[in-house]
């Protein structure tokens, strides 16, 4: 890990909250992935070895896959691993005297657009889940309300909104840097 100095306490707290939330999401994603693997192995074993139909396993695997996708997306957002098209970056680097400032503004604008889309999508999707809940829809093979698996998307959206909001508030140099520790002040007698 490399040391990093934070410009103020707010940036340190925001950076650490984003990093801790990302760590929790990575652990949740690993747990969900292992649960998905176990359910799929049970499903395939029952179907092709024992010739027993297990519709609950198919449905549960689908829900785990949805959760894994959304929690994985929010984790990728926390560490800056989402796919980017850097065509604009290469053009700005070639034709600008100070490309870092221009790229910081462009990236921040892009994050604001992402945040607006996520808020809009979350609002529309939450209304949809609410309508499904009022209809009393149940899952096909597992006796749970459909609002439970559908709310996993809402949770993923909220996590993505939190990470995007953190990126907007954090200085640009802290966006994709997750392996840093706060620099400790030098003790008396130590040379820097």
pLDDT at site 11: 87
pLDDT at site 44: 93
Residue 38 has pLDDT above 60, yes or no: yes
Per-residue b/e over 39-52, b at no fewer than 16 CB within 10 Å? bbeebeeeeeeeee
CA distance 129 to 63: 15
Residue 144 has pLDDT above 60, yes or no: yes
> Per-residue pLDDT averaged across 122-147, rounded?
94
End-to-end C-alpha distance for the chain, whole angstroms: 18
Reported confidence tier of residue 1, pLDDT bands at 50, 70, 90: very low
pLDDT tens digits, one per residue of 150-169:
999 999 999 999 999 998 88
Q: Which two tokens stand for residue 54?
A: 């297990």
Other CB atoms closer than 10 Å to residue 61's CB: what's the count?
Answer: 21
Residue 176 has pLDDT above 80, yes or no: no
Q: Give which of 45, 32, 33, 40 is closest to 57, Cα–Cα.
A: 40
pLDDT at site 177: 57
- Average pLDDT over the chain, rounded to an integer: 86
pLDDT tens digits, one per residue of 48-80:
998 998 889 999 999 999 999 999 999 999 888
> Per-residue pLDDT averaged across 121-134, rounded?
96
pLDDT tens digits, one per residue of 81-91:
877 777 777 88
Supply the DSSP string of the chain, one letter for each residue.
Answer: -EEE--SSHHHHHHHHHHHHHHHHHHHHHHHHHHHHHHHHHHHHHHHHTS----HHHHHHHHHHHHHHHHHHHHHHHHHT-S----HHHHHHHHH-SSHHHHHHHHHHHHHHHHHHHHHHHHHHHHHHHHHHHHHT-B-SSSSSBTHHHHHHHHHHHHHHHHHHHHHHHS-GGGSS--SEEEPPPPPTT---
């Amino acid at each position: 890990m490399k040391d990093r100095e934070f410009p103020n306490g707010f940036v340190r707290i925001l950076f650490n909250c984003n990093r801790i939330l990302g760590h929790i999401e990575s652990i949740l994603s690993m747990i969900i992935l292992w649960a998905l693997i176990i359910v799929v192995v049970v499903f395939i074993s029952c179907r092709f070895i024992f010739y027993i139909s297990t519709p609950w396993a198919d449905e549960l695997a689908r829900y785990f896959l949805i959760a894994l996708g959304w929690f994985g997306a929010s984790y990728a957002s926390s560490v800056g691993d989402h796919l980017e098209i850097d065509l604009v970056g290469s053009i700005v680097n070639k034709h600008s005297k100070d490309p870092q400032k221009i790229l910081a503004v462009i990236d921040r604008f892009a994050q604001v657009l992402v945040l607006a889309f996520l808020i809009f999508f979350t609002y529309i999707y939450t209304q949809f889940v609410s309508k499904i809940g009022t209809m009393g829809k149940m899952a096909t093979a597992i006796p749970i309300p459909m609002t439970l698996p559908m709310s996993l998307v809402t949770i993923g959206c909220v996590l993505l909104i939190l990470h995007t909001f953190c990126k907007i508030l954090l200085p640009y140099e802290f966006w994709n840097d997750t392996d840093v520790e706060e620099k400790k002040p030098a003790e008396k007698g130590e040379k820097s």
